[in-house]
Chain A
Amino acid sequence: MKGGGVADSHEVVLVTGAGSGMGMETALLMAAGGYRVYGSVLNDTEDAALRNEAAARRTAVETVRMDVTDAEQAASAVRQVMGAEGRIDVLIQFVGIGLRGFFEDLEMAEIRRVFDVNLFGLMNVTQAVLPHMRTARRGRILLTSSIGGRMGSMSISGYVSSKFAIEGWAECLRQEVAPFGIWVTLLEPGLIQTPHFTVNRNRARRAMDPSSPYYSWFCQHEKIVDDILANNKFTVAQIAEAVRRIVQARRPRLRYVIGTKAKLILAMHRYIPGEWFQNVYWSMVRRMVTKPREQAQMRASYN
């Protein structure tokens, strides 16, 4: 990763999902580094949280209000930044929601909602920003995917498919806008404790229904995830620092995996031949969530 220089103090950065977690941390770090930062927030609570944190750290972050699922709101927020600054050099999209539950327990409405935010929302903001970057013939678009955008996982199929979708879209977009001097980059952080897990875990309604055939596995899996998170030393500050360096890279790559564990797991997923990793790793997890006795009972009850 090249770069690490001092920011051009006129560079304008728009960070979506800046009301909490990784988005907030990155917005504050970029502001501290001399960028003109606009952070998108969803409501008054997020707005106040971002402003208070900026004041506490003695940095300046402007807030813009937008619900990314509404293309008109996205366009008007971008107009607001353009009106004030006349340019947007960097767009960093952190906005996203999760959804936990085994696939058969997910309602289509719950899955659609994830896509409205995680994919179509990102698309809305990107479409609003692109004309300005094209005119300027320069720009950087950073899209937050996840390790879940590279490999499947248990009890988050809706979330995973939305993150895979971002990856596919970003690969195409990178080619399409390259002739205009615009760089598209994917951020792939590993598992990390953010409000995404602590405050707004977003479990599917039926996942918590004891009559679901997956109920006991889901509960067991949630405990495992909690254990992993509790022992996780990875912080949002580390992610924000990585993002700052990526923004300043001379020729940013298509993908950046952020986090040592994530790098290791993705390397295994990629290089271990055949489908060994998929089979071995997940049968291990499955053994942990399905006690053999229960599993036999489950199968018997449906045969």
Chain B
Amino acid sequence: MVTGASRGLGAATACRLAAAGFQVWAGVRNEEAAARLKALAGQQSLPLETVYLDVTDNASVNSALGVIEQRTGRLFGLVNNAGLAERAFFEDYPEQKIRQLFEVNLFGVMSVTRRALPLLRANGGGRIVMISSIGGRIGLHCLSPYSASKFAIEGFSESLSIEVKPFEIAVSIIEPGIVKTEIWDRQKRVLPEARDRSSPYYKYLLPLEEQVDEFLNMSSLTPADVAARVVHVMQVARPKLRYVVGRRAGLTLSLRKYLPSALFERVYFGEIVRRMKKGQSENPTSSALQGGAA
């Protein structure tokens, strides 16, 4: 079962798993996405079933997992991929938007996992894969609710792995660096609140946007890289708890682990603060941003 399989990482993962011989249920949110995914799978003549799943809707979670329960009575693997990211400085972030994000990125994941656990136990063991992010290990500016939700996934997964191990269920967290998917591309997902000129943070947005562009351009990570790692977790006998995908992400996380914390923070977070301050003096009016508002 792959959630959020309409596009991006989820679609790539569902297809890869089907190609590797798994019987795949792809959770999608509408008919259009189902048709698109079926067509994509059809091109490679991969067997793949779509099922309607909105992770934020308890009834939908119940009925989607209910379908699997009825048809097979058990489940070997669950890939929690559904997620969203929207960018704005914390002070500008409306409470409702923060809660919305948590409904998808955390509570949705928990509710699907909770409903899937009896099926995984009935299977006599299995795998739960969480698609987290480097943002689940390092706080990313303008993404505080997203990072909070991904950190929460990390803590949840670490705890869950301890609890379900006696049932031979392994929990693995996949932490990709920045992958070029629509989650980053579409307007870079900047909330209108962040584009409001009256925000005290407005002057800091442009220099940080430039940095995000640099990161995106440097990144060579594709959804296929992440999908390949998910297939690996499903096939290997003893999966690890954490998998970092992408060399740059791996390097950054190693630095964070082995450098003294204060040094890492001064270098990594300090660079962002320097950019903010520098950008403020160089771009007193950053009019270019206004054009980008959706």
Give every chain A residue within 8 A of B143 (Cβ-Cβ). 172
**A161 x B152 contact (CB < 8 A):** yes
Instruction: Kindly provide the distance from the CB of A243 to the nearest chain B CB, expressed in whole angstroms.
Output: 19
Give every chain B residue within 8 A of A134 (Cβ-Cβ). 91, 200
Instruction: Kindly provide the distance from the CB of B24 to the nearest chain A CB, expressed in whole angstroms.
Output: 24
Contact with B along A240-262 (1 / 0, CB 8 A): 00000000000001110000000
Give the docked Cα–Cα distance between A149 and B148 (Å).
Answer: 11
| Given A102-B163, A213-B121: A152 and B147 interface contact (C-beta under 8 Å) | no
Give the docked Cα–Cα distance between A167 and B107 (Å).
Answer: 18
Instruction: Kindly provide the distance from the CB of A64 to the nearest chain B CB, expressed in whole angstroms.
Output: 20
**B155 x A161 contact (CB < 8 A):** yes
A 116-154 contacts with B by CB, 8 A = 119-120, 123-124, 126-127, 130-131, 134, 148-149, 151-154
**A171 x B147 contact (CB < 8 A):** yes
| Given A174-B269, A303-B124: A165 and B152 interface contact (C-beta under 8 Å) | yes
> Which segment, of B31-39, B64-72, B134-142, B176-184, faces chain A?
B134-142
Closest to B163 in A: A102
Give every chain A residue within 8 A of B242 (Cβ-Cβ). 275
**B121 x A302 contact (CB < 8 A):** yes
Give the docked Cα–Cα distance between A80 and B158 (Å).
Answer: 41
Give every chain B residue within 8 A of A274 (Cβ-Cβ). 240
**B89 x A168 contact (CB < 8 A):** no
Question: Which of B118, B142, B159 has the most chain A CB within a 10 Å cutoff?
Answer: B159
Question: Which of A164, A167, A174 has the most chain B CB within a 10 Å cutoff?
Answer: A164
**A171 x B138 contact (CB < 8 A):** yes
**A179 x B277 contact (CB < 8 A):** yes
**Interface presence of A270 (CB below 8 A):** yes
**Interface presence of A209 (CB below 8 A):** no
Give the size range of A's interface with the partner: 35 or more
**B139 x A298 contact (CB < 8 A):** no
**Interface presence of A160 (CB below 8 A):** yes
**Interface presence of B257 (CB below 8 A):** yes
**Interface presence of A234 (CB below 8 A):** no
Give every chain A residue within 8 A of B148 (Cβ-Cβ). 119, 165-166, 168-169, 172
Instruction: Kindly provide the distance from the CB of A150 to the nearest chain B CB, expressed in whole angstroms.
Output: 9
- Residues on B facing A (Cβ under 8 Å): 58, 89-91, 95, 98-99, 102, 106-107, 110-111, 113-114, 117-118, 121-122, 124, 135-136, 138-145, 147-168, 200-201, 204, 240-242, 257, 261-262, 265, 269, 272-273, 276-277, 280
Given contacts A103-B114, A217-B166, A295-B166, 13 further A-B contacts (CB under 8 A): A103-B160, A120-B98, A161-B155, A161-B156, A163-B155, A167-B139, A168-B136, A171-B269, A176-B144, A180-B200, A299-B124, A299-B166, A303-B124
17 example contacts (A-B, Cβ-Cβ < 8 A) are as follows A103-B164, A119-B152, A123-B90, A126-B90, A127-B95, A134-B91, A152-B157, A171-B147, A172-B140, A172-B144, A173-B90, A175-B141, A176-B144, A179-B273, A179-B276, A217-B166, A299-B167
